[in-house]
Copies of this chain bind each other. A is one copy, B any other.
Amino acid sequence: MTTSREVRLKSRPKGMPKLENFEVASVDLAAPGPGEVQVKNLFMSVDPYMRGRMYDRPSYVPPFQIGEPLQGGAVGEVVASNDPSLKAGDIVQSMLGWREAFNAPAAGVQKIDTHGLPPQAFLGVAGMPGLTAYVGLLKIAALKEGDVVFVSAAAGAVGSVVCQIAKLKGATVVGSAGGKEKCDFLREIGVDHVIDYKAVPNLTKALMEAAPKGIDVYFENVGGEHLEAALEAAKPFARFAMCGMISQYNATEPPKGPSNIMYVVGKRLRIEGFIVSDHFDQLPAFLKDMSEWIGSGKIVWRETVDNGVDAAPGAFLKLFKGENLGKMLVKLS
């Protein structure tokens, strides 16, 4: 018998989540049943979209339930297998994060060939956030060589990959992030114009100075003032890939919408939302391209790692305070 500690939703957050919305509990794991494996998680992913699942409302994924363990991406190691398809020592990916270990049907986890990458890269640059950047920039925004691309939350797990793909495809990149450390990182990865949105008095003005002829593409991770600035700076026929709006996720009142949304007509903008799970058909192309880009040093990444399952709620809160640089992870063993 193994014991696993797991994070449960104790109460639904109102506004900014607090530590007391979560609780950590222990469960006993029997040996895996027929067709099952037992997995010890190595790393779990902490992602902004999870905030949406903490509301009790219909959405594209069902809400988390009070008293039940949370779910999220994780990579782990098979420690016992009762199925011929997997053996102890295999590295697997699952949506069963927020816990130290679990039993699951073998078909419920995916074996990873890490190609020499650290397994947690499959939660970031080589995983869902990387694919999100790839699909959003190349398919939704239909990036073209020579485009001027504006990326918000540019130092995040998704944003930093967007910036680097845009650069290697021949675009000019304007990246926005908060604070010196993130802005330094953006300069390191070749972002042409870096905006520290916490330090500029007027984001729209800063963007117009960075891109005086306007932007062709906006990769939206933030919402609010960033969206208004992008609408203002958009060239005719600009394309907006709408990936998320982290500034709005904890709103307790209806947030202020973009007052200049009317530009969508006169500038003939295309504003398109997307969810990565609708685009898994792009996964083979993504993995091929990404392993090449990583191999040749064209794409690098950063991680912010907290330790132990007890740290997971705090790591989640960091996302909304902008305290992570690159991918936010919790190391579980």
Contacts and interface: CB of A to CB of B under 8 A. Distances in A.
A270 interface: yes
A212 interface: no
A236 to B, nearest CB: 7
A156 interface: no
Interface in A184-222: 220
Given A259-B255, A260-B257, A60 B275 contact: no
Contacts of A228: 257
Contacts of A256: 256-257, 259
Interface in A153-206: none
Interface in A261-278: 261-275, 278
Interface stretch (A20-28, A74-82, A118-126, A242-250): A242-250
A271 B275 contact: no
Q: How many copies does the complex hold?
A: 2
B259 A259 contact: no
Contacts of A273: 263-270
Interface residues of A, number: 36
A245 B272 contact: no
A59 B257 CA distance: 23
Given A60-B236, A236-B60, A271-B272, A52 B257 contact: no
A248 B236 contact: no
B271 A270 contact: yes
Nearest to A247: B262
B60 A266 contact: yes
